[in-house]
Structure 1
Amino acid sequence: MKDESVADLIKDLGSRLAAVSEEFTARASRVVDQRAEDATSPISEEMLVARAKEILAHRKLRRRFLPGELFHEPAWDMLVALFVSHRDHRPTNVKALVAMADAPVTTSQRWIEHLHKLKLIDRVNDPTDRRRIEISLSAAGYDAVAGYLTAIARR
């Protein structure tokens, strides 16, 4: 009789463990399905622009607490700022872009030239003032920054 009660306890324990296992498997499956859905669901341009603005704000905030030379990436600052202005269809002139990059003019101009050679930005002479050059993200530049922002939004 004692052996029967031990056997019954083991059967009961086995069925309870099986039920717990099934529950964990079902929950894990739901998590995987949700992640797969999140990875394929589109992220709006509005959300990407909000993320880009957040990145710019964080970069400026760091300068309040730490020396600016520790975080000197004028090309990245320019690309993110141009991404934000792209949504508003606002052309950005070189002077404004240099100010956004928070870098010396000559350094910024070298980066603008390099970004143009990499085909990440487009440069167009301002039709109303030939001395001004308007800068915007190229299609490839837009896709690259949007791809990066999408990837971090999905993490």
Structure 2
Amino acid sequence: MAASANLPDGEQDLVNAAKRIIKIREARRKYLPEGYFEEPAYNILLDLYVANAEKRIVYVNDACIASNTPTSTALRWISILVRDGFAIRFRDDKDARRTILEITPIGGRAIGDMLRESITI
């Protein structure tokens, strides 16, 4: 993953915490049966949070992969995240066949606050 540039003080710690959580979630899938830890909304939001900090584009297909669930499940959760104001989706201006997904300020604040609290535990 690319280094995050120009983040306010303390924000890099939150991005690093999000990356650690993603890596931990990947590691536990190696050792425990599939389906034990399905949290597609959380997986997608963590990925969007890191992508936002790294100025990286996330396409809906990428978010589906990040969810670690079947595409139909991921798409359903993406719709819920959009409906609830945690993410926004829009067409790619360069390729109308692709849809971009971004975390909203509400979603970013929620994940940031959760990460801030979790790194103090």
> TM-score, normalization: structure 2?
0.90
Within a 5 Å distance, the mapping from 1:32-71 to structure 2 comes to: 44-71=10-37
What is the CA RMSD across the aligned residues, in angstroms? 1.3
Within a 5 Å distance, the mapping from 1:1-150 to structure 2 comes to: 44-150=10-116
Q: Identity percentage over the alignment?
A: 31
Segments ≥4 residues shifted beyond 2 Å: none
Count residues with an aligned counterpart.
114
Q: How big is each residue's C-alpha offset from its partner over 1:47-99, in whole Å with a ceiling of 9 and x where there is no partner? A: 00110000011111111110121101111000001111111111200111111
User: Is the contact made by 1:123 and 1:135 (CA closer than 8 Å) also made in structure 2?
Assistant: yes
- Hey, what's the Cα distance between the residues in 2 that align with 1:140 and 1:132? 24
Match of 1:28 in 2: none
The structure number with the bigger radius of gyration is 1
- Hey, what's the Cα distance between the residues in 2 that align with 1:110 and 1:100? 14
- Hey, what's the Cα distance between the residues in 1 that align with 2:9 and 2:120? 9
In structure 1, stretches of 5+ residues that fail to align are 1-41
In structure 2, stretches of 5+ residues that fail to align are 1-7
